[in-house]
Structure 1
């Protein structure tokens, strides 16, 4: 019996179809250009930042190692989502295999959680640098970065693994058209004939436990930083202290604002066009990735000088 797109058993499913703005072909055309430019910018800027930190001995410090980790996470997220979206826009390649869909789901969930956790560790780094400057070299060192990287990887790899596993165990018997540009957990799970209550609960509980705890700790770190900064009496000390964590705060603002807008739009999905949540889902994987290295390159003098030296060597 030939396998059809509308299948009768979960074992017969060979692919899903991503319904990415297919009802709005003009949107596909207009979105493809800025999306491809953002993708190239994200990949190029993050690669430049990684090479600069790798080549410049003066940047071999814990803060820049954490920034390198953030750049690598951004690049993986971009490569997981954007090429497939552009393939749909340009070549109508909407089909995605069963295994590829759940792999994409896992990478998106785990790497977004890793990025949030990295921001939290970077906030702690800034807290120690400003509130305990004399102890900074003994607390924030290469060993700390190694342990932090293991924690970021282990926590988020393990706690996000049940999301695609629970979704893959569901029985898909009627529909295989995903009303999204990516294999988001609930966009896929709601296609099944089974009860998805457990999937919803784990997605909600896991997401708010991981991202929520990170945001609380980030907020606490910056509250303590602000309190310490306001106590500084030396002339220019406040401005200097704030400038050391200004870039980091801007990046967190980008990350959390887009995530918050997406969550609010998803909650109010009956009141907005269905394309809006799908668009925000895609943009959340590329805009922070494009802006993160630019913000650090513009606001951090050491990185700016390192890039300039590399460019002079290249020419």
Structure 2
């Protein structure tokens, strides 16, 4: 991925010098690194806008209005101010560049649909971090918090992605960032607020199944971003394969087999490796948000 020399986003909060505070796992929408669930605050969008965008995406609003909640983080942020920012480094430059590319892509897509894209902040942290969704450890993996509309990333995760899971490459890392930004897009168009509502009346198994649909759509949105990036001539030979390999390595079934030797489908909350590969590829091939409807009954067909 030819990222050097390109625009870098100003929407970076560098908290790597803070060190964080206490620990509470489960906030936000995350890239899984060992199974387990997630929670999140509520971001409310306008109902009319939600209905319009659901129509554009081909999502049935009634499907999203059937109940549920993931508001585990409450409404207050409790967020610490940055005391001092570490010096710039290559990883920060890479993350800033990828974030800038997502900003350009989603701004263009929203404008084409008569809307305005609200850029998220991306928080770099080390070890632990405080967010509107609570305190989290880097062991939980990257996550998006709807409560403050921020992506949280400990870049040490990329070392784990490469060394532990065998998913190396800069475009594999870019896929991780684009996936979390995909959750921000879902928050803006009303998918996440409706998912929060739905969880209130759902069993754990049903909530997990709906979570899979949400996560696969974020994968598809990441693929849409990848298509726009490819059209700029930024991608190099093998980049797409890096992203698909990463999607395969962090599927729920693959992670469960790795960690416990067997799979429990009712506990899946991100999707199988095959599903994650399929939906990233679908977004990348189409370059169209409308192709990312994971809320129809046929979404699981491979």
TM-score normalised according to structure 2 size: 0.29
**More relative contact order in 1 or in 2 (CA 8 Å, sep 6+)?**
1
More helix as a share of residues: 1
